[in-house]
Amino acid sequence: MWSRIEPLMPADPVRGWRWADHRRTLEAIAWKYRTNSPWRDLPDELGSFQTAHKRLIRWAVDGTWEMILAAVLAAADAEDDIDWTVSVDSTVVRAHQHVAGALKRGRPTPVSPPITRSDAPAAG
């Protein structure tokens, strides 16, 4: 799979530091979403969590993720390795009436005690 993705990855910037290895960064991003862990819990062998997070955002903005998805889907479709079955779930989940703030029957609404002002002078 990496042989299909590698040519789509952005090149190192002309000026400044060389980027960290793209493959390791992709592994870090995949690990984060696979485990649903916070970025700060990224294992040391996957590099800096700041690098992975910044690269994720940068690639989302510049369209790299869309190019990778299109290339992987095209390759899978060409090899007839993808099933285009779509499943739509029409389940309706209803919340309890109290979640929406409805008043409970038979119980009066609690009244908060009145606020009384102090006779002391206000602090400066």
Q: How far is residue 44's CA from residue 24's CA, in Å, rounded to a whole number? A: 11
Tell me the residue ranges of DSSP E strands in 29-103: none
pLDDT tens for 22-75 read 889 999 999 999 998 999 999 999 999 999 999 999 999 999 899 988 988 888
Is the pLDDT at 106 greater than 70? The verdict is no
At residue 77, the pLDDT reads 84
Residue 78 in tokens:
């060409």
Q: How far apart are CA 56 and CA 9, in angstroms?
A: 12
Question: Long-range contact list for 45-53, CB < 8 A, 24+ apart?
Answer: 47/20, 47/21, 48/20, 51/20, 51/25, 52/25, 52/28
